[in-house]
Structure 1
Amino acid sequence: MLNYKHLHYFLAVARSGGVIRAAERLHLTPQTLSGQIAQFEERLGVPLFRRAGRRLELTEAGRLAQSYAEEIFQTGAELEELLRNGGEERFITFRVGIADVVPKFIAHRLLAPVLELPEAVRLVCQEDRLDRLLADLAIHRLDMVLADRPMPPGTDIKGYSHPLGESALAFMAAPALAARLIGEFPACLDGARLLLPGRDSALHGALPRWLERQGRHMRIVGEFDDSALMKAFGEAGAGVFPAPAASVPDVMAHYKVVSLGETEDLRERFFLISAERRLTHPAARAVSEHARAGLFAPTRSAA
């Protein structure tokens, strides 16, 4: 039987990245905590950590154990809260995986209807690479996944891709950088520095190919798995960056950048991936219906 005290100690070390800091938080000596972790690993029969310099890194088994431990203690906290309230407050937990290349404003707009449902819903968002999210979806740790691409072909994971909509692509930059660019869009892109979404993004290969077809030469100065980090660099004037045209007003207001222009030749697509062919979770249905009702309204092309 699983020792939950050991599981609690393991999670503390995993979150802290080391025994000493975790021991301080748990009010234990490092020697005692190390011994408890060793007993836990011996009981499970697999190593959960490996040393990387002065830090401890999770093994593959350790990452899996951490994901389950997080869920176990979250469920325990929900049970405690429910019982403390006399069982009066009941809610539906809706766990969503968000591929880290999906723009945050798009994710927010897609998920906003969940919190407007008549049922009490607790939204739990987990951001990660698509392959890891799909693995969690397969073992029902997630109710759905938001992605910029459908299920990868040839994957062993059973899942279904539900199109939510698509948007033209805008190119954005800090005002000072935009003022130095010469010509109308897309000619103004020539010679500019480009911030490119990471390899997990559908745009990673499509955007350079489009630029080549247009005869535009941009210098890629950074690649970003996290869309918000890419925009933060763009706000600082590091380069031009792409964003869905549907999110341009939000991006302009939040990051104080300007739009250089849009193209319909490149489109960002968004999908709800579920383990079921027919959506049954009320929150997943709300996301799908809201998106289809016009979230991605057509925008006028600038090129």
Structure 2
Amino acid sequence: MNLNHLAIFQAVAANGSVSRGAQRLHISQSAVSKQLGEFERALGVVLFDRLPRGVRLTEAGRLLLGYANRLFAIEAEARSALGDLKQQARGSLTIGASRTIGSYLLPQRLAAFRQRYPAVELSLQVENTHVIERKLLAGEIDIGFTEGVVSSEQLDYSEFAQDELVLIAAPRHPAAKQGSMTLATLQDLRLLMHEIGSGTRAVTELALAEKGLRIRPSMTLASTEAIKHTVAAGAGLAFLSSLSIKTEQRARRLTVLNVDGLRIARALYQVRLRNTPPGPTLAAFLDVLQAPA
């Protein structure tokens, strides 16, 4: 496969037209059109639908774009790593983290890293576990932090912290007055949950399934903050990370309920592409991450 052709393809795909792709690459539009045609003939597939204004990726084009993004991300990582050797942790670092980790665990570490390495441009993307995995495989982030279960053989997961999921309620909720409940009682209560794809939801459902419980959520919400506010309003109960509710517990807006025979402990993972050693900047961040809080 001709890498020059692949770079031209990626530029056109990213910009949505041959002319804008040519401008980005600083070559003529006719040269881009000619080389795209040669690339498609060499591959034996059509990569773009030509439209009156611009182009649109075909199914084959969308497939190839994923590989192109990963390949050029690895190239950029290699260049960055070599540059870091000269510049000592300069450049950029893009981190992906699932909600609990990104909102309640990483901020202090990011502040410590920023203080120690002010020349590094940091970016934190907070997504659910499935999105973090996809972005790592596409080369869009340098490292991920997730609460979910391993699901790709191309990724290495290593535990970096422990967490516990606890059942929360508003203090005035009838269940809160009892302080504890049985698994059978839990089966009949209204539970709020994250969307499918959330690590918190996946771990909760697995733990309940191991106890013979299959609970259909009464409400699905897209953020931990939304779940906390809805539970505090008395609309139901929810399993959330103990890390995420400390402020509400201190303010007595939420309380933790005990479920007899149920404890949901979970590992928190750092996730990286398999067989890809960290560059100096990422290595420096990992040192900060492992330092005592």
TM tier, smaller: 0.5 to 0.7
Q: Distance in 1 between matches of 2:195 and 2:262?
A: 21
Aligned equivalents of 2:230 and 2:181: distance in 1? Answer: 21
Pairing 1:171–2:171 present: no
Counterparts of 1:261-300 in structure 2 under 5 Å? 261=258, 265-275=263-273, 277=275, 280-281=278-279, 284-285=282-283, 288-293=286-291
CA shift, 1:266, in A, is 0.9
Question: 2:53 is matched with which residue?
Answer: 39
Superposed displacement of residue 183, structure 1:
1.6
Correspondence list, 1:149-188, <5 A? 149=148, 151-153=150-152, 155=153, 157=154, 159-177=155-173, 181-187=176-182
Letter in 2 for 1:235: A
Q: Sort the Cα spacing of 1:8 and 1:41 in 2 relative to 1 into closer, same or farther, 3 A.
A: closer
SS in 2 for 1:176: coil
Report the CA distance between 1:184 and its aligned residue: 2.3
Aligned equivalent of 2:114? 115
Secondary structure of 1:170 counterpart: strand
Distance in structure 2 (CA, Å) of the matches to 1:248 and 1:260: 13
Q: Aligned pair in 2 of structure 1 residues 163, 209: CA closer, same or farther (>3 Å)?
A: closer
Structure 1 111/146 Cα, relative in aligned 2: closer, same or farther at 3 Å?
farther
| Conserved 8 A contact 1:150-1:161 | no
**Match of 1:141, SS?**
coil
Cα distance in 1, alignment partners of residues 13 and 166 from structure 2: 50
Match for 1:238: what amino acid?
A
Question: For each residue in 1:23-69, what CA deviation from the matched residue of structure 2 results, as whole angstroms up to 9, or x when unmatched?
Answer: xxxxxxxxxxxxx9843216xxx269xxxxxxxxxxx949x79xx7x
What residue is the counterpart of 1:98 in the other structure? Answer: 97
Give CA deviations for 1:87-134 in whole Å, capped at 9, x if unaligned. Answer: xxx952111122357562234345443323234222212233434433
Identical positions, percent: 14
Alignment correspondent of 2:257: 260
Distance 1:280 1:9, change over 3 A: closer
- Residues 229 and 254 (structure 1), Cα distance of their counterparts in 2 relative to 1, 3 Å cut: farther
- Aligned pairs for 1:7-26 within 5 A: none
**Is the Cα contact below 8 Å between 2:133 and 2:144 reproduced in 1?**
yes
Q: TM-score, normalised by structure 2?
A: 0.58
Cα 1:126–1:276 change in 2 (3 A) is: same
User: Is contact 2:167-2:256 (8 Å) kept?
Assistant: yes
**Cα pair distance change 1:7/1:216, threshold 3 Å:** closer
| Normalised TM-score (structure 1) | 0.56
Residues 293 and 266 of structure 1: CA distance in aligned 2, closer, same or farther (over 3 Å): farther
- Inter-partner Cα distance in structure 2 for 1:180 and 1:271: 33
Report the count of equivalent residues: 233
Q: Provide the rounded CA distance (Å) in 2 between the counterparts of 1:282 and 1:161.
A: 20
- Equivalent residue, structure 1, for 2:76: none
Q: Tell me if structure 2 keeps the 8 A contact 1:172–1:259.
A: yes
Distance 1:161 1:38, change over 3 A: farther
Tell me the distance in 2 between the aligned counterparts of 1:133 and 1:208.
20
Say yes or no: does 1:126 pair with 2:138: no
After superposition, the Cα gap between the structure-2 partners of 1:279 and 1:165, relative to the gap in structure 1 and judged at 3 Å, is farther
Q: 1:257: how far off?
A: 2.6
Q: Deviations over 1:123-147 (max 9, x none)?
A: 2122334344333323432110111
Match of 2:220 in 1: 223
Judge conservation of contact 2:171–2:252 (CA < 8 Å) in 1.
Answer: no
Unpaired stretches in structure 2, ≥5 consecutive residues: 1-7, 18-49, 70-88
2:178 aligned counterpart, secondary structure: coil
Aligned 8 A contact 1:113 1:287 in 2: no
User: 2-side partners of 1:292 and 1:167: how far apart?
Assistant: 16
Structure 2 counterpart of 1:39, one-letter code: R
Q: What amino acid sits opposite 2:229 in the alignment?
A: A
Please give the alpha-carbon distance, in whole angstroms, between the structure 1 residues aligned to 2:114 and 2:251: 22
* Residue 122 to residue 194, structure 1, CA distance change in 2 (3 Å): same
Aligned-residue CA RMSD (Å): 4.7
1:114–1:290 Cα change, 3 Å: closer
Question: Which structure: larger Rg?
Answer: 2
Distance 1:167 1:146, change over 3 A: same
**What's the offset of the Cα at 1:161?**
1.4
Q: CA separation in 1, counterparts of 2:252 and 2:95?
A: 26
Q: Which runs of 5+ in 1 are unaligned?
A: 11-35, 49-59, 69-89, 296-303
Q: Quick one: distance in 1 between partners of 2:220 and 2:102? A: 15
